[in-house]
């Protein structure tokens, strides 16, 4: 029925004008049989267990902030193609049911309801930004739908409230831990300025970061919110400098604001390191810099799996993955971790089906809850029934923001 | 610090002032407060960066094309968001129609351009004591003041604009082509907003986020200067920019907006018609 519905949606005019051309007697018989089976409580699981493994993919492929989803999508497609080329999982093919949410929480909720109610997917990957996830997580929890996502907001993971939801990437708290550890234990500075933008994310991230720094004995000499559209950040930078900050911690995805901070730091002749959110390494920052040197001494939260060591080598598992991607997936305009996490998201579902022989929600969730040190391409994941943050904090490292090559970054000084 | 407050404040203020003039020019011709003004200003930066940096056009071609493009958007505003609702001005439907068009402009730009700020090209280059990103908006503002004075005082078309603004019905009764003049006014307003975005491109960058910001802060000088009063809008815009930058130094963060709007409310309480507006009179 779902497939028939999709076909009809592709040619609505033909359907409404000449329905008999499309709805043949055989289709009608199949449709009515399907409807009958759909209403029989024991029939559908039998069909589902032998048909393709359906993975819903909530992708913000267009609209604002679409770059990550485009990267994730490359990994998802690559994984599905690779698995299907090898014969599938116990004879079952993998099908990706993609819905473009455009980053809109309302569209994401509608897509989830469609995937659960009509498409009957076995698991959902995504959404990939926290705004959407805040809207969809409860909907998926009600349907007990196995859900893997990479969104960073800490409250999205709560095994008691959402036993179906698992995080494949670090939480914001883990980024914060890595940044704080780098400031206090690697750079060994205690005078810290913490700034963010005026969005909800910026405000909450600064508050959490300041509290954690203070708890660890750091001296937070300045904290503030900066409007991302503020054309001149001189006043803020002067206040930070005059307060005696030795390092600037920045929590924002606003690349314009980050570039302005770097440019102003250079104008003031200041060399305090800027450390923080992964957006500090975005290509959008590079083109807004007045001089390439303004990007020096800027370190961002990154990942051990997607970082070059002092010899310019990726970890062996990642290097093997990149070699498999060569010629099939472009890494020129994408972060490697997006592609790797998308790949892992599909593999985690198919490995669950392979290990348990079942694609039911209970089987997939149970499998994920029992994983210890699962060797993914993006990370080495561990989930338990009590802990659904699966990414190890020790694999969150600091990277040199200006060192991106083929989607990966060099480790920041102090790790080598 | 004083230098930063002065030059950054004046430059930002000049951009606000030009957006306020955009509001006024649209309002004078139609009695409609079009909330597309800031978005067209944003487009001035985006179209300029697109033509010069992405299509590699020389500035001498990219600049007039930017103004033409923004003028065309001004005309589009008149056709799509103003003309259909102008008959029922008292229902204030233009608020919805112009806001809807403004949102469409922003979404379209986000999809076709970028959601992230993009660089804007250097226009003149080095060789001046003061960086061009500070004096270009001021130069643009001065050019608009002079241009509008010449247009309104020394050309027949300019006088026709004034006639329409003064008394729409009487102007029509005299045979003036009201619709044509309204379209021309919206084209002029679009070009002024485009100039604001282009001249302020190095300061604001080519970013969709500038649309709502300019809509918001560009409206403040309109209210402070008195609706329809271009001189008031220019002075209020420049003062607003300097005050905002001073508040940036004194308070910083979210308190800047609070300071700006607290001052705005205080001024309006003291002078409801705006600093430069005449008190309303009624002929009896």
ipTM: 0.85
pLDDT of A12 over the 60 cut: no
Q: pLDDT digit string (tens) for A115-137? A: 999 999 999 999 998 889 999 99
Q: Do residue A224 and residue B252 have CB atoms under 8 angstroms apart?
A: yes
| Chain B residues whose beta carbon lies within 8 Å of the beta carbon of residue A238 | 1, 249
Give domain limits for chain A.
Answer: 1-32, 51-170+333-389, 173-309+396-410
Q: How far apart are the first and last CA of chain A?
A: 56
Asked if residue B193 belongs to a domain, the reply is yes
**CB-based contact B253 A198, cutoff 8 Å:** yes
The closest CB to that of A232, out of B4, B207, B254, belongs to B4
Number of residue pairs across A and B with CB atoms under 8 Å?
71
pLDDT tens for each residue of B3-18: 888 999 999 999 999 9
Tell me the chain A residues in contact with residue B204 when contact means C-beta distances shorter than 8 Å: 229, 231
Closest CA–CA distance from residue A261 to any residue of chain B (Å)? 14
Q: Are A51-170+333-389 and A173-309+396-410 in the same CATH fold?
A: yes
Residue B279 — very low, low, confident or very high, per pLDDT cuts 50/70/90? low
In a mutagenesis test of the B interface, which of A241, A243, A256, A262 is the best target, namely the one with the most B β-carbons within 10 Å?
A256
Structural domain includes residue B284: no
Residues belonging to chain B:
284
Cβ–Cβ gap B117/A236 under 8 Å = no
How many residues belong to chain A? 416
Does B205 contact A256 at a Cβ distance shorter than 8 Å? yes
Arithmetic mean of pLDDT, B133-155: 94
Provide the shortest C-alpha distance from residue A285 to chain B (in Å).
Answer: 9
**Max intra-chain CA distance, chain B:** 61
CATH 3.40.50.2300 fits A173-309+396-410, yes or no: yes
Which helix (H) or strand (E) covers residue A221, if one does? Answer: strand A219-226
Measure A103 CA to nearest chain B CA, in Å.
Answer: 12
Q: In 10 A of CB A193, how many CB atoms?
A: 24
Most confident range, picked from A199-213, A261-275, B213-227: A261-275
- Asked whether residue A22 carries a pLDDT value surpassing 70, the answer given is no
pLDDT(A5) > 80: no
- Chain B residue numbers with beta carbons less than 8 Å from the beta carbon of A225 are 253-254
- Looking at residue A48, its pLDDT comes to 58
**Residue A249 per-residue DSSP state:** E
* pLDDT, mean over chain B: 90
Higher pLDDT, A415 or A228: A228
Residue B277 lies in a domain: no
- Asked if pLDDT for residue B60 goes beyond 90, the answer is yes
B8 with A284: Cβ contact below 8 A:
no
What's the whole-number mean pLDDT along residues B137-150?
95
For residue B1, which residues of chain A lie inside 8 Å, CB to CB?
238
Q: What is the average pLDDT across A50-63?
A: 90
Are A268 and A245 in contact, with CB atoms under 8 Å apart? no
Is pLDDT of B201 > 80? Answer: yes
Q: What is the pLDDT of residue A19?
A: 33
Using a CB-CB cut-off of 8 Å, the residues of chain A touching B248 are 230, 232, 235-236
A398: which residues sit within 8 A by CB, 6+ positions away? A178, A179, A182, A186, A275, A299, A300, A301, A302, A411, A412, A414, A415
Q: Which residues on chain A place their C-beta less than 8 Å from a C-beta of chain B?
A: 62-65, 198, 224-232, 234-236, 238-239, 255-256, 259, 282, 284, 287-288
How many structural domains does chain B have? 1
- Interchain contact, B207 vs A287, CB within 8 Å: no
Mutation target among B8, B253, B255 for the A interface, most CBs of A within 10 A: B253
Q: What is the CATH number of the domain that holds B201?
A: 1.10.3470
pLDDT at A36 over 60: no
Does A256 contact B119 at a Cβ distance shorter than 8 Å? Answer: no
Using pLDDT thresholds of 50, 70 and 90, give the confidence band for residue A45.
Answer: very low
What digits encode the pLDDT tens for the residues B152-197? Answer: 889 998 899 888 888 878 888 888 888 899 999 999 999 999 999 9
A67 pLDDT higher than 60 = yes
- Picking from A65, A198, A259, the nearest residue to B115 by CB comes out as A65
Per the DSSP assignment, residues forming a β-bridge with A53 are A94
In a domain, B281, yes or no: no
- Of B111-120, B191-200, B258-267, highest mean pLDDT: B191-200
Chain B residues in contact with chain A using a Cβ-Cβ cutoff of 8 Å: 1, 4, 8, 12, 107, 110-111, 114-119, 203-205, 207, 209-210, 213, 245, 248-249, 252-254, 256-257
Between B202 and A27, name the one with better pLDDT: B202
Q: Is the pLDDT of residue A7 over 70?
A: no
Binned at pLDDT 50, 70 and 90, residue A39 comes out as very low
Q: Which residue, A275, A296, A309, is CA-closest to A180?
A: A275
Residue A27 has pLDDT above 60, yes or no: no
Element (H, E) at A250: strand A247-251
CATH architecture, range A51-170+333-389: 3-Layer(aba) Sandwich (3.40)
The shortest CB-CB distance from B119 to any of A65, A198, A288 is to: A288
Q: Containing domain of residue B198, as a range? A: 2-270
- The answer to whether A248 touches A275, Cβ cutoff 8 Å, is yes
Predicted local distance difference test score (pLDDT) of residue A18: 32
Q: In this model, does residue A193 exceed pLDDT 70?
A: yes
Range scoring the smallest mean pLDDT among A365-369, A370-374, B124-128: B124-128
Predicted confidence at residue A398, as pLDDT, reads: 94
- With a cut of 50, say whether residue A98 has pLDDT above it: yes
Residue A287 Cα, gap to closest chain B Cα (Å): 6
Q: Which residue in chain B has the smallest CA separation from A196? A: B253
Q: What sign has the CA pseudo-torsion A139, A140, A141, A144?
A: positive
Looking at the complex, report in whole angstroms how far the Cα of residue A252 sits from the nearest Cα belonging to chain B.
13
Q: How confident is the model at residue A41 (pLDDT cuts 50, 70, 90)?
A: very low
Q: Across the interface, which of A62, A229, A232 has its CB nearest the CB of B213?
A: A229
Please check whether residue B202 lies inside any domain of the structure. yes
Q: Show residues of chain A in contact with B134, CB under 8 Å.
A: none
Average confidence (pLDDT) over B40-64: 96
Residue B278 belongs to some domain of the structure: no
Q: Which of A196-200, A207-211, A317-321, B242-246 has the lowest mean pLDDT?
A: A196-200
| Residue A123 bridge partners (DSSP) | A55
Where is pLDDT greater, at A26 or A107?
Answer: A107
With bands split at pLDDT 50, 70 and 90, how would you rate the model's confidence at B282?
A: low
SS3 per-residue string spanning B97-158:
HHHHHHHHHHHHHHHHCCCCCECCCCCCCCCCCCCHHHHHHHHHHHHHHHHHHHHHHHCHHH
Which residue in B111, B118, B245 is closest to A232 by CB distance?
Answer: B245
């Amino acid at each position: 029925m779902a497939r028939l519905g999709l076909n009809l949606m592709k040619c609505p005019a033909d359907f409404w004008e000449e329905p008999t051309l499309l709805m043949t007697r055989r289709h009608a018989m199949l449709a009515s049989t399907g409807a009958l089976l759909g209403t029989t409580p024991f029939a559908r699981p039998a069909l589902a267990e032998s048909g393709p493994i359906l993975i819903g993919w909530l992708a913000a492929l267009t609209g604002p902030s679409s770059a990550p989803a485009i990267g994730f999508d490359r990994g998802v497609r690559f994984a599905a193609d690779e698995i299907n080329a090898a014969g599938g999982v116990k004879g079952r093919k993998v099908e990706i049911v993609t819905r473009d949410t455009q980053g809109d929480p309302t569209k994401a909720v509608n897509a989830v309801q469609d995937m659960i109610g009509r498409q009957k997917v076995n698991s959902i990957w995504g959404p990939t930004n926290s705004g959407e996830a805040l809207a969809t997580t409860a909907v998926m929890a009600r349907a007990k739908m196995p859900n893997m996502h990479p969104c960073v907001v800490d409250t999205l993971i709560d095994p008691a409230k959402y036993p179906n939801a698992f995080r494949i990437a670090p939480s914001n708290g883990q980024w914060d831990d890595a940044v704080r550890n780098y400031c206090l234990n690697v750079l060994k500075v205690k005078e810290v300025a913490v700034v963010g933008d005026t969005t909800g994310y910026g405000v909450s991230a600064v508050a959490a970061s300041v509290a954690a720094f203070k708890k660890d004995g750091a001296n937070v000499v300045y904290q503030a919110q900066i409007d991302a559209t503020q054309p001149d950040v001189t006043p803020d930078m002067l206040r930070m400098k005059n307060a005696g900050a030795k390092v600037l911690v920045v929590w924002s995805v606003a690349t314009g604001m980050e570039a302005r901070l770097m440019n102003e730091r250079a104008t003031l002749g200041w060399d305090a390191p800027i450390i923080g959110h992964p957006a500090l390494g975005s290509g959008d920052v590079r083109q807004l810099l007045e001089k390439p040197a303004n990007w020096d001494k800027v370190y961002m939260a990154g990942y051990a799996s997607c970082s070059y060591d002092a010899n310019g080598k990726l970890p062996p598992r990642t290097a093997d993955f990149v070699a498999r991607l060569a010629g099939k997936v472009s890494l020129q305009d994408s972060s490697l971790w997006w592609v790797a996490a998308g790949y892992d998201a599909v593999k985690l579902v198919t490995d669950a089906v392979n290990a348990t022989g079942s694609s039911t929600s209970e089987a997939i969730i149970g499998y994920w809850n029992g994983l210890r040190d699962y060797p993914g391409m993006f990370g080495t994941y561990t989930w338990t029934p009590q802990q659904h943050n699966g990414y190890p904090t020790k694999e969150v490292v600091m990277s040199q923001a200006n060192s991106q090559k083929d989607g990966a970054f060099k480790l920041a000084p102090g790790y080598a | 610090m004083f230098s930063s407050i002065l030059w950054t404040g004046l430059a930002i203020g000049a951009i606000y002032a030009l957006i306020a003039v955009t509001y006024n020019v649209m309002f004078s011709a139609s009695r409609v407060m079009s909330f597309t003004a800031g978005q067209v200003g944003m487009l001035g930066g985006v179209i300029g960066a697109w033509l010069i940096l992405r299509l590699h056009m020389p500035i001498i071609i990219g600049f007039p094309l930017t103004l033409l493009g923004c003028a065309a958007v001004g005309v589009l505003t008149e056709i799509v968001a103003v003309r259909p609702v102008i008959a029922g001005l008292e229902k204030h439907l233009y608020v919805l129609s112009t806001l809807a068009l403004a949102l469409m402009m922003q979404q379209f730009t986000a999809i076709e351009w970028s959601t992230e700020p993009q660089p804007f090209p250097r226009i003149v280059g080095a060789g001046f004591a003061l960086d061009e990103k500070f004096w270009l908006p001021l130069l643009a503002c001065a050019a608009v003041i002079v241009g509008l004075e010449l247009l309104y005082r020394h050309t027949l078309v300019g006088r026709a604009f004034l006639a329409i603004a003064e008394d729409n019905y009487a102007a029509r009764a005299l045979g003036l082509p009201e619709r044509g003049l309204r379209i021309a006014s919206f084209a002029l307003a679009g070009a002024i907003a485009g100039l604001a975005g282009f001249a302020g491109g190095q300061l604001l960058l080519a970013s969709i986020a500038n649309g709502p910001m300019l809509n918001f802060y560009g409206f403040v000088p309109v209210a402070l200067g008195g609706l329809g009063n271009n001189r008031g809008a220019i002075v209020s815009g420049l003062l607003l920019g300097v005050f905002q930058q001073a508040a940036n130094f004194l308070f910083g963060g979210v308190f800047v907006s609070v300071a700006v709007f607290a001052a705005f409310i205080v001024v309006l309480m003291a002078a409801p018609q705006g600093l430069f507006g005449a008190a309303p009179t009624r002929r009896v």
